[in-house]
Chain A
Amino acid sequence: MSGYKETATHESCFRPGSTLCAGCMEAIAFQSVGRVTDNGVKTIFTIGTSCAEVSSLAFPNVVAWGRGEAPPDDFSRSFAILHNVFESAPTLAEAVRDVADVLTDHGALSAPIQVISASGDGGALAIGLRSLLHTIHRRTRVTVIVLVNEIFANTGFQYSPATTPFASTSTTPSGAASSGNPAPPLDYLHLAIAAGAGLVAQLSPAHGKLFQKTMEKALACETTAVVFVPSPCITGWKFEDGETMQIATLGARCGVFPAFVWERGKGGAVKDCPREAHERPPVEGFLGTQRRFNHLVRRDPAGNGYQVRDGSEADVDQFRAWTQSNVERLYALAELR
């Protein structure tokens, strides 16, 4: 494995030119993953329709992918990307993997190939849950990245199965008769483990070294590695650019989406998020950073962070309870082998 500093000098396959929002976690994740894939192995990405796709592959805009200023003479640094419909990315990746393996088996391909699938949580966990789970179930040797911004951002910030409880989305709006999204998110980490993944993680570049190390492990995994990347969405979560990493860090630490890495046969660990609630940052601090939770908390007029709005005490208590159960759930998952 490469060192963190050394990898930082690698050339990413995600290049300038995307029209993603400035500071979007998806762009940061692609930059990070893109550097890790500069490892001497030819890289092929498959991508389902998503913010990331329409913002990086829209002709005649710049295609924000590729390694280097010109097509490399070194084949191992060449890069290819394939887009198809929302739910398709894992299946596309599986097909590419199979073709590469069959060609290798025939002696027709000598260069190694690494295949990475990228989807949003809408593409992977709603319309594409079938595709995701069956690609995992077939133990396909690909790395699956799911960029979890908890909404269908590309179509206007609708609820997704990964939406945090009480979040206001365009289809679960908060209002006089609603406290936002009423349901806890799908337990996608457990689903991926149960389906047979070799590595499952929930991790963003906010945990930079761990993210890089985990991506390196994912690329080396002999079966399917699935990395769910919590992806604060500037427009959908309603915060200011420049706050992305802070919110990603806070969300992980306070238990909304704890950093989690699990490997089959070895078990896993929750990172940077204590099991006991009093050892974690208070959730109000996380809720207050995003206007999607504006109906629950407000800025303390005295300047001491955020406070629960009058009338929302029960909802915030429920949110705390859900957060605790979320953390407990991940500690329990970490025990699985």
Chain B
Amino acid sequence: MSTIERPLLPLPHETTPSGELYGSAIDLARVRAAHVELCTERETVTVDGNTAAALATLQMWRCVLFAGFPITPSTKWIETVAARIADEPRSRKRVKLLEAEHAVADYLVGAAAACRDLVFPTATSSVGLDHMTETTRSLGASGLGNVMLIDVYRATANFPLCIEGDPSDTLAHRDDGFIQICARGKQQIYDTILQAPCVGMHADVLTPTMPGFYGIKDSHRSARLIQEPDREIHAFQDEWMRPCPLPGLINGDTALGNCVTSKHFQGFKLSQRRRLENALRVLPAVGASFERRFGRPGLAFFDETGWPEKGGVDIAVVGMGPDFGTFETLRESYQAYAGLRVAGIAMRLLTPFPSEAVRRRLAQARVVLVVNQAHHQGRGHLTLDVVDALSTLPDPPRVVPAFAGLGGADVSEATWERMLEEARAVRDGGAVAPAAFYHEGRAL
């Protein structure tokens, strides 16, 4: 029994499944009011991908603390954020450069747990993401949907070191538990980062997000971007980001990160999985809401090209990233040349993999060509997911796996044509060959 005498600080509190919540301990309206607008009118700017990502995070009033550690090709994100904050004396936002990526991941745990109503972003790449792994796997299970880890894709592993962008880093982290969304092009990068935390922080989801884009190809090359006014962004996000129903460290009487016995471990993992799967319901709703407000496509499971309103296609291509654009530009000419109907999807949501939507889209294809751009010991990460998605069809299309663009190499028109020819041969009754590597129009 305490006999200490001091002024009391009585605050109303409510009981939650995770402890007591003192909802009024943090006055978020003051954080919102203190935000210094970056953009007051819709405008078109020319920026690279890292800058697009930086602008998106800077424009959110919920982003007040930016943690990072430099690694190519993601470094310009933290540099841009730091430069903008340094240039704005009215801003109370802070940048925190830590000593290693692992420290950044730990820092995100502490920050996001401290206040679950703010968004804590960072950006990393390749072995930087690998270095975070011990904690990203904890984060994925943590319920801290207010963590946003922007992965600027770069080939992982240092033997050989390659600083260009293939998605082997993000695909190696499929089981970390994050919602992984791939963006291509500056506008999609910007828009994706504005929407991702709306999904992650949804009360039914509470799962951290990992939006990503290709290093060098998208991170370092510039293009036009429509930048939205901060107030519109805030209005959109406020619609989706409600106060977290669970206590944080500052506004709670709570414990986070407990260990459990194996008996109870099952329940925790099942809950984690269900929250992740709820993203399949929430993400399209957020995307539709975004499109209504801003007039551009919002988050979706995948981008589509060439699909007829009725009937099937001979070849369906599954890919991701900016090289899919090369396929989009040659699709019609190849279609005419081969006398086939050819369509494709570029995956946006990597985890949780939208199996049902993919199955529905590909069910009408005779052959599915899956282009994998990351090293894999088997037929490719995407291939396995696509095959799994199609496995429940009574007569699934034949799947042709291919590897191209490893290490960020361009997937040229010649390479796309070579892979399409391989799919065409299978469509004509040929055998499906083991997954081959394609480069510069040749099978290696």
Q: Which of B20, B27, B257 has the most CB of A within 10 A?
A: B257
Distance in Å: Cβ of A14 to nearest Cβ of chain B: 12
CA distance A95 to B30 in the complex (A): 20
Tell me if A75 is interfacial: C-beta within 8 Å of chain B: yes
Assess the A9–B2 pair: CB atoms within 8 A.
yes
Assess the A91–B98 pair: CB atoms within 8 A.
yes
Distance in Å: Cβ of A270 to nearest Cβ of chain B: 32
Distance in Å: Cβ of A90 to nearest Cβ of chain B: 9
| Given known contacts A57-B255, A85-B134, A91 and B94 CB-to-CB distance under 8 angstroms | no
Interface of chain B residues 210 through 266 with chain A (CB within 8 A): 247-250, 252-261, 264
Assess the B257–A74 pair: CB atoms within 8 A.
no
Q: Which residues of chain B are near A39, meaning CB under 8 Å? A: 4, 6
CA distance A300 to B11 in the complex (A): 63
Tell me if B19 is interfacial: C-beta within 8 Å of chain A: yes
Distance in Å: Cβ of A8 to nearest Cβ of chain B: 10
Q: Is the interface of A mostly helix, strand, loop or mixed?
A: mixed
| Given known contacts A39-B4, A71-B20, A83 and B25 CB-to-CB distance under 8 angstroms | no
Closest to A89 in B: B106
Binary CB contact string for chain B from 114 to 143 against chain A (1 if under 8 A, 0 otherwise): 110010000000000000001100100000
Q: Which residues of chain B are near A6, meaning CB under 8 Å? A: 3-4
Distance in Å: Cβ of A91 to nearest Cβ of chain B: 4
Tell me if B99 is interfacial: C-beta within 8 Å of chain A: yes
Interface residues on B, range: 35 or more
| Given known contacts A9-B2, A59-B258, A78-B20, A46 and B252 CB-to-CB distance under 8 angstroms | no
Assess the B109–A92 pair: CB atoms within 8 A.
yes
Closest to A42 in B: B250
Q: Which residues of chain A are near B247, meaning CB under 8 Å? A: 80
Interface residues on A, range: 35 or more
Pick the contact of B258: A58, A73, A106, A134 (CB < 8 A): A58
Tell me if B274 is interfacial: C-beta within 8 Å of chain A: no
Assess the A57–B259 pair: CB atoms within 8 A.
yes
Interface of chain B residues 137 through 169 with chain A (CB within 8 A): 138
CA distance A302 to B253 in the complex (A): 57
| Given known contacts A59-B258, A96-B111, A130 and B99 CB-to-CB distance under 8 angstroms | yes
Assess the B3–A109 pair: CB atoms within 8 A.
no
Q: Which residues of chain A are near B65, meaning CB under 8 Å? A: 98-99, 102
Tell me if B28 is interfacial: C-beta within 8 Å of chain A: yes
Binary CB contact string for chain A from 36 to 76 against chain B (1 if under 8 A, 0 otherwise): 00111010101000000110011110010110000111111
Pick the contact of B111: A2, A81, A95, A108 (CB < 8 A): A95
Assess the B22–A85 pair: CB atoms within 8 A.
no
Residues of B within 8 A of A (CB): 1-4, 6-11, 13, 15, 19-20, 22, 25-31, 34, 64-65, 67, 92-94, 96, 98-100, 102-103, 106-111, 113-115, 118, 134-135, 138, 247-250, 252-261, 264
